[in-house]
Amino acid sequence: MRSTGMLNTWRSCCVNIPQRWILALMGFLGLFNAYAMRACLNITITEMVAPTNHHVQHFVDDTCSFTEDELPSNSTVAKTSSGTYDWSEVTQGVIISSFYWGYVITHLPGGMMAEKFGGKYTLGFGILFTAVFTLLTPNAVEWGGAWALIVLRVLMGLGEGTTYPAVNVMLAQWTPPEERSKIGSFVYAGAPLGTVYAMTVSGLILQHSSIGWPAVFYFFGSVNVLWFLVWVVLCYNNPREHPFISEHEVKYLNERLSDHTHQKPPPVPWRHILTSKPLWALIIALIGHNWAFLTIVSDLPKYMSSVLKFSIQNNGYVSSIAYLCMWLGSLVTSWIADWTIANGHYTITKVRKIGSTIALLLPAIFIVAASYAGCDRLMVVIMFYIGMTLMGTALPGIMVCVLDLSPNYAGTLMALTNGISALTGIVTPQIVGILTTNQTLTQWRLVFWIVFGVSVLTNIVFLVYGSGEVEYWNDPEFVKEDREKRKGKSNDVEVVS
């Protein structure tokens, strides 16, 4: 009786609230918190590790000075790291990249599980497991040092690997085409904003906590356990399972999604998916985007600390505002994209290609330009902010394109696209570790030129082969007929033999 009464209370309270936007909010917070757990190490590691000794190495040190008159105020002068772990730049690169070793493994199984059983618990338990491993991080580092941290980061990656595929499966069940850019971009914006949150809060905790850097991991792990509890109560796999959605919303979503989204589509048509040029063009574009984005996410705090000599607090502020700029860019361009499509000004394909060009080419130019601004800290920060704002166009440009190609197999496609492109998370930190052993401006400039080259090449591929139209193999009838034809051919071969 008590549970029935509670359900009725929820119905009377929430029936008039569009539940697709409740899902969008909780999905946003899911990515927000997932990225916070992933990114908090990137700034915390600058306090965990002992400072590099420049005096015993032979190289030209063109990093910036600590001179106060170059900075707005005394508060921006970097303090010397009090870290105790003697981890080289290469070791730090391995630690940062180890998250992605596990992350790429669970993408495909996570997508297939979400398509078969629903995205609610696939996403929920993945983030819960990551939260538990985050809470265990301080003890693991104290016990086993770098290797224990690497193992734990791999386990965190395994948990978070289900995140994007599961989110995509749920979006395919909840977002009508005319709202896809807005809702999808809103949810995916949790990634850059979660990084903002991680950088800002981590900097504050590192400065004020009495127990030091372990407090960062205790805080973010606890918040994500709380998110899981709320997620389980409020969110459901699809409108049909939702206990307090309005009949009007159910009818609306059924009408708008019935053409391309089906309750039980046939098994995944792997042969057609793996030979789809638009899909591979999207994967390549995402590789370009992730190469730039993950280089910045993983290593911008290092650049600000080691080259520009920002203090730990101001490092957190400056780095976090860059991702806030990315979110603002995605917010504005997602509304423009949906308005353009809804009013017939441009096709979905053209909108996605315009978005990819803005998101890949222009940020790369500004990132390279930032390295040539030298120690002009204000100009460097402005260049990064402009670049990250433009990078936000990737969300309505290429991130939602998976939903365009195949709503029925959104989980599998997100597993393939995000899983393959996430391999850059393994590669880029190690490239940075190898190329920036002395953390000089010249070494970092080479890193940013590599980002530029990858962005240009991947965007060209998407412009030639990319598409925003539903692929023919999304149609269940086509998949069934194709399977029957292939069965018939195999039976004919058996008869002849």
pLDDT 10s digits, 245-279? 888 888 887 877 765 555 566 778 888 999 999 99
Say what the pLDDT of residue 215 is. Answer: 93
Per-residue pLDDT reduced to its tens digit, 435-449: 888 778 888 899 999
What distance in Å separates the CA atoms of residue 243 and residue 392, rounded to the nearest whole number?
35
Q: What is the DSSP letter of 68?
A: G
**Mutual orientation of helices 190-208 and 180-188 as an angle, nearest 10°?**
20
Alpha-helix runs per DSSP H in 49-118: 89-103, 107-117
Q: What is the largest CA-CA distance in the chain?
A: 87
Q: Rounded mean pLDDT of the chain?
A: 82
In a 13 Å sphere around the CA of 204, the CA atoms on its Cβ side amount to 8
**Burial of residue 193, with CB atoms counted within 10 A of its CB: 0-12 exposed, 13-18 middle, 19 or more buried:** buried
How many angstroms separate the CA atoms of 30 and 52, rounded? 36
Best CA proximity match to 222, nearest among 132, 123, 125: 132
CA dihedral 357, 428, 413, 230 (to 10 degrees): -100
Task: State pTM to two decimals.
Answer: 0.71
pLDDT of residue 5: 53
pLDDT at 306: 76
Question: Which residues of the chain are modeled with pLDDT < 70?
Answer: 1-16, 51-63, 65-83, 258-265, 298, 311-313, 315-316, 488-497
Burial class for 166, CB neighbours closer than 10 Å (0-12, 13-18, 19+):
buried
Q: How far apart are CA 107 and CA 86, in angstroms?
A: 33
Dump the DSSP string for 206-231. HHH-SS-THHHHHHHHHHHHHHHHHH
Contact at 8 Å (CB) between 307 and 64? yes
In this structure, what token pair is assigned to residue 496?
A: 């002849």
CA atoms within 13 A on the CB side of 434: 8
**Cβ contact 84:136 at 8 Å:** no
- State the pLDDT at residue 56: 43
**Residue 400 pLDDT:** 81
Q: What is the pLDDT of residues 56-97, one digit of tens each?
A: 445 555 667 654 334 444 343 344 445 678 888 788 888 988
Compute and round to an integer the Cα radius of gyration of the chain. Answer: 24
Give the Å distances, CA to CA, from 231 to 31, 292, 339.
Answer: 12, 31, 30
How many Å apart are CA 7 and CA 71, to the nearest integer? 57
Cβ-in-10-Å burial (0-12, 13-18, 19+) of 365 comes to middle
User: Do 438 and 258 meet the contact criterion of CB atoms below 8 Å apart?
Assistant: no
**Quick one: DSSP state of residue 406?**
-
